[in-house]
């Protein structure tokens, strides 16, 4: 999301460069440096409406897919509904967003897609099966989309940060936890 942590920091950086960021997230920050649309990305129809609203002013040059939820569970305790929720919010909303922005990028012959993954996708972190698998899927999609979209002048990259003291990290990794 764009309301805090990496998403908000990136929006601020883009605004400092003169860009006008458009942010989507559940919680509206007090000081978002651009246009902000409050939306629960777990709701497919609401996500579509928010993307339509973001595109109402014309096509966007790029997208930072900084989305994910963590439902820590050891393998024997993974609740399938939680697993599906992690994939839905992380992967489906990313696909949905890219598909909506792609036509404008292809038409202009230029665009930037950046997916935020996690080092959790690279290794075994106990209790992070769902989150790690969803973020690994993001890395895979990045490679595939990069090959598919390069002929249209669209680059697709992935950033896999290590632990960053964001609210999401602190929620999923209380002091003393194995994560």
Q: Which residues are catalytic?
A: 131
Query: 162, 39, 149: which is closest to 105 by C-alpha?
Result: 149
3-state secondary structure of 14: helix
DSSP calls for 105-120 = HHHHT-EEEEEE--GG
3-class SS shares of the chain: helix, strand, coil, % to 5: 50, 15, 35
- Say if residues 122 and 65 touch (Cβ distance below 8 Å): no
Which pair of tokens denotes residue 170? 């602190």
Q: Could you give the maximum distance between any two Cα atoms of the chain, in Å?
A: 51
């Amino acid at each position: 999301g764009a309301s805090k942590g990496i998403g908000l920091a990136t929006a601020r950086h883009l605004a400092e460069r003169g860009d006008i960021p458009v942010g989507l997230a559940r919680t509206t920050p007090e000081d978002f440096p651009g246009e902000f649309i409050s939306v629960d990305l777990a709701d497919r129809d609401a996500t579509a409406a928010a993307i339509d609203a973001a595109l109402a002013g014309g096509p966007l040059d790029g997208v930072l897919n900084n989305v994910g939820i963590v439902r820590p569970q050891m393998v024997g305790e993974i609740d399938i509904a939680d697993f599906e929720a992690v994939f839905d919010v992380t992967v489906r909303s990313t696909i949905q967003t890219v598909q909506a922005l792609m036509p404008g990028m292809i038409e202009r012959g230029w665009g930037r897609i950046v997916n935020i993954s996690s080092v959790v996708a690279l290794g075994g972190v106990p209790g992070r099966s769902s989150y790690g698998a969803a973020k690994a899927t993001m890395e895979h999609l990045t490679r595939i989309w990069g090959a598919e979209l390069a002929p249209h002048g669209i680059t697709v990259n992935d950033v896999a940060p290590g632990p960053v003291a964001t609210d999401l990290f602190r929620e999923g990794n209380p002091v003393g936890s194995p994560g």
